A = this chain, B = another copy of it.
């Protein structure tokens, strides 16, 4: 079975997020990794487009029970019908999880991935967490470029 990498990020994202996601898709496809994503617009669409353009395989774990609104670059569509609970499935499906940009939905995926604790979690951009004393909450691997994000997964070191 090929390596699977989940890429999470918001529908409404910045231009930087968009560029990062597309580049991540390309880099993952070049390494033979299957990309797992949420299957809709924004970061999800960009990572799918980047991977597909590089000949990769992209699985969209959709919240709806049908394919309405799914982006056109998915290789495989999984219309779960379980709504936002599909975030758990995206996170569980990755040998690593890369989170691009910030939104409440994206933060839930970051938190679920950290709670799961079985795969490296890399954050590219997005929000920062501090405890009540103002110290950063440890555990997340931070990156500033797609290349660094890939490297920090540790899957190809």
Q: A residues touching B (Cβ–Cβ < 8 Å)?
A: 1-2, 4, 34, 36, 57, 59, 61, 65-66, 74-85, 88-89, 92-93, 102-105, 107-108, 111-112, 114-118, 125-132, 134, 137
User: How far apart sit A2 and B74, CA to CA, in the bound complex (Å)?
Assistant: 10
Residues of B within 8 A of A75 (CB): 1-2
Main secondary structure of the interface of A (DSSP, over half): mixed
Query: Would B103 and A78 count as touching, CB distance under 8 A?
Result: no
Residue among B4, B77, B80, B128 making CB contact with A131, cutoff 8 Å = B128
User: How far apart sit A120 and B131, CA to CA, in the bound complex (Å)?
Assistant: 22
Sample of 7 further A-B pairs with CB below 8 A, known A80-B80, A80-B92, A127-B131: A65-B83, A78-B93, A79-B93, A80-B88, A107-B114, A128-B131, A129-B129
Residues of B within 8 A of A65 (CB): 83-84, 88, 92, 116
